[in-house]
Amino acid sequence: MPIRFFIKQWLLPPGLLLILLVLGWWLRRRRPRLAALCFFSGAGGLLLMSLPLVMEQAARVLESEPPLALEQWAQLAERADVIVVLGAGRERGDPAWGGADQPSLLALQRMGFAAALARASGLPVLTSGGLHYGTPPSEAQLMAEGMQRDFAVPVTWQEGASRTTWENALYSAALLQPLGKRRVVLVTQAWHMQRARWSFERAGFSVVPAPVGFLGRDNARPFAGLLPESRALWQNGQLLNEAVGLLGYRLFY
């Protein structure tokens, strides 16, 4: 897993763009034209990835599932058997919590939304997410503990073995389908929902999408989103990784 992560980080921006900048400097005397191409590709790519406007437009392509209407929340029990909330990483050893690991900010966003849906509908909850580089506790356990502690919503099942979205679906199916539960409300980021829904449907579930954390909307940024922002650079990286993942899933699964 660490080797695969290392390779991926350098094959996708911003790693790839940094490599182009280094190549541009290294080739500046021997191959000036190629050096210029590498430099402007790297610098131009970094500029585009840092623009909120580019991020918003890219997010709109991935965020194909509409949000659940508020009036539908209470009726979810008629359409589904379980709410499944997918993990999104964790923060290691947070001193504010006595050095205990905590769910990431993205995971907290999913947990809060899943808890609201559970209270409105009465549906049970499954958390899904495995070990972070093999170190316990699992993301599923952290989310389950957080939902009980912070939102007073108990978690009925924990799927704590998965490492990918595909495994989220497969291992959730192994837990739920023998119990006759094949209809799920799926909670994840709006830009991740295409790949998540596809995976869960391939695993035999009927899916009610419950996307959260939409990025493809006007956030009232100054100068129409044409000023570079560090947050946009990170968000564009997430979106690009998701686009590659979506393509890869449909090719290899």
CA atoms of 88 and 78, how far apart (whole Å): 28
User: CATH 3.40.50.620 spans which residues of the chain?
Assistant: 67-212
- Full-model pTM: 0.93
**For residue 213, what pLDDT is reported?**
96
The terminus-to-terminus CA distance of the chain in angstroms comes to 19
| Cβ-contact 25, 39 below 8 angstroms | yes
β-strands 100-103, 90-94: how paired?
A: antiparallel
Cis peptide before 14, with omega less than 30 degrees from 0?
yes
pLDDT tens by residue, 98-113: 999 999 999 999 999 9
CA atoms of 50 and 241, how far apart (whole Å): 15
| Cβ-contact 106, 238 below 8 angstroms | no
CA atoms of 76 and 136, how far apart (whole Å): 33
CA atoms of 152 and 99, how far apart (whole Å): 23
CB within 8 Å of 116: residues ≥ 6 apart: 73
Structure confidence at residue 6 as a pLDDT band (50, 70, 90): confident
CA atoms of 149 and 15, how far apart (whole Å): 38
* C-alpha 245, offset from chain centre: 11
pLDDT tens by residue, 215-234: 998 877 888 899 999 999 99
CATH superfamily assigned to domain 67-212: HUPs (3.40.50.620)
